[in-house]
């Protein structure tokens, strides 16, 4: 697997797609004016909210959402954020958007979240612009538009919104809307990682593995540390590097162990990685039938590349009974879900 192919595969997992945008776009709340002079307690902010101080409602919403000084209560956080937004707090609107897109307080409402981010951004709130830029970068709730995304992300990052720096770093890492720039990607992702985001630290690690040997060592160290802290996506990424011997001595057995850990923990892409280990006899005894089960599992969990691999196994009969009709159905599903490899296979397979 080439490095370009690896990055293309990881883009779905590493970025801030539908399942991860909310985590990548958690804005800092910045109480202003009279709120800042109040006692820094939840009770004080709730009193301020009761007196129609929108920023106080926002801070209270954030505390209930994060469980700071109280038991987490996403429903109450949503009610407070809605009130904050209604009172004109743009941070409240952004906070409400993160709740809506994550489904923390009910079914996810991506369209409503995008509307809230856009409203805040149009009013000059850079956190809203950063979240909207991330949506345009990933195509979450809007048509993907990387150039527009980076135009939104750059000023948000400059304004101190570190999650925007992380998304902008991903754009430079992948060459999305801007010319790929490894050094700039690392600098931006480093800034975002310092802000405390696990997702951005993971992306920083992967960017480092594409650099010079000293950077590669840092990337592997970061991934190992994140995996040891039970970030299963990092375990998967570490497995990808180990199974391909990228910047590290190839160790397919350890890679398969990491894929197993991540797959069992719900990382669908890792099920594809483990499936390939069984299909190829790489780090696991060769067992295409078991590999097919794992590819189907990944496909059913929403990872289109699993659909592609399942389709190819079935249409070609590689170690499993040949079933062109079922295989084509998997390839069609992969293609419809945006996996270009699935579309290409659908055209080329008999």
Nearest-10 crossing angle of helices 232-244, 213-228: 140
Structure-block tokens of residue 154: 């750059």
Give tens-digit pLDDT for 299-332. Answer: 999 999 999 999 999 999 999 999 999 999 999 9
pTM above 0.75, yes or no: yes
In this prediction, residue 350 carries a pLDDT of 64
Integer Cα distance of 314 and 22 in angstroms: 37
**Whether the Cβ atoms of residue 178 and residue 172 lie closer than 8 Å to each other:** yes
In this prediction, residue 40 carries a pLDDT of 83
Looking at the chain, the domain(s) classified CATH 1.25.40.10 span 231-302
Compute the Cα dihedral for 229, 165, 267, 237 and give only its sign: negative
Structure-block tokens of residue 315: 């249409």
In this prediction, residue 114 carries a pLDDT of 97
Q: Helix, strand, or coil here: 146? A: helix
In this prediction, residue 38 carries a pLDDT of 44
Integer Cα distance of 238 and 232 in angstroms: 10
Q: Is 27 exposed, middle or buried (0-12, 13-18, 19+ CB in 10 A)?
A: buried
Per cent of the chain over pLDDT 70 is: 89
The CA radius of gyration of the chain, in Å to the nearest whole number, is 22
What single-letter DSSP state applies at residue 33? Answer: G
- Range list of H helices, 281-323: 288-300, 304-316
In this prediction, residue 196 carries a pLDDT of 84
Short-list 244, 227, 245, CA closest to 236:
227
**Whether the Cβ atoms of residue 123 and residue 10 lie closer than 8 Å to each other:** no
In this prediction, residue 257 carries a pLDDT of 97
Q: Is the pLDDT of residue 34 over 80?
A: no
Q: Is the pLDDT of residue 286 over 80?
A: yes
**Whether the Cβ atoms of residue 129 and residue 152 lie closer than 8 Å to each other:** yes
Residues 6 or more apart from 80 whose CB is under 8 A from it? 49, 57, 58, 60, 61, 64, 92
Q: Is the pLDDT of residue 25 over 80?
A: no
Give tens-digit pLDDT for 5-21. Answer: 222 233 333 433 333 33
At the topology level, CATH places domain 231-302 in 1.25.40
In this prediction, residue 214 carries a pLDDT of 86
What is the mean pLDDT of the segment spanning 204-222? 92
Short-list 119, 112, 83, CA closest to 98:
112
pLDDT higher at 239 or 246: 239
């Amino acid at each position: 697997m080439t490095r370009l192919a690896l990055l293309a595969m990881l883009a779905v997992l590493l970025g801030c797609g539908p399942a991860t945008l909310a985590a990548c776009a958690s804005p800092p709340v910045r109480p202003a004016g009279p709120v800042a002079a109040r006692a820094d307690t939840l009770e004080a902010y709730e009193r301020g909210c009761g007196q129609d101080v929108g920023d106080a409602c926002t801070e209270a919403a954030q505390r209930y959402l994060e469980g700071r000084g109280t038991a987490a209560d996403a429903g109450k956080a949503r009610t407070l954020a809605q009130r904050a937004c209604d009172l004109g707090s743009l941070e409240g609107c952004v906070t409400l958007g993160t709740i809506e897109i994550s489904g923390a307080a009910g079914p996810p409402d991506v369209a409503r979240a995008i509307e809230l981010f856009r409203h805040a951004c149009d009013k000059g709130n850079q956190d809203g612009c950063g979240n909207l830029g991330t949506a345009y970068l990933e195509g979450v709730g809007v048509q993907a538009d990387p150039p527009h995304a980076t135009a939104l992300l750059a000023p948000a990052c400059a304004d101190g919104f570190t999650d925007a720096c992380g998304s902008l770093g991903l754009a430079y890492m992948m060459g999305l809307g801007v010319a790929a720039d490894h050094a700039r990607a690392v600098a931006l992702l480093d800034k975002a990682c310092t802000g405390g985001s696990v997702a951005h630290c993971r992306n920083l690690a992967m960017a480092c593995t594409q650099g010079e040997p000293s950077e590669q060592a840092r990337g592997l160290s970061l991934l190992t540390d994140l995996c040891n802290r039970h970030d299963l996506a990092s375990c998967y990424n570490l497995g990808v590097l180990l199974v391909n011997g990228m910047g590290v001595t190839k160790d397919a057995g350890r890679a398969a162990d990491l894929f197993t850990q991540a797959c069992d923990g719900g990382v669908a892409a890792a099920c594809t990685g483990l499936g390939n280990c069984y299909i190829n006899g790489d780090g696991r005894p060769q067992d295409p039938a078991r590999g097919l089960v794992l590819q189907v599992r990944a496909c059913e969990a929403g990872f289109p590349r699993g659909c592609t691999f399942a389709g190819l196994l079935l249409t070609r009969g590689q170690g499993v009974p040949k079933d062109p009709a079922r295989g084509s159905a998997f390839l069609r599903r992969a293609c419809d879900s945006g996996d270009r490899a699935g579309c290409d296979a659908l055209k080329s397979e008999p």
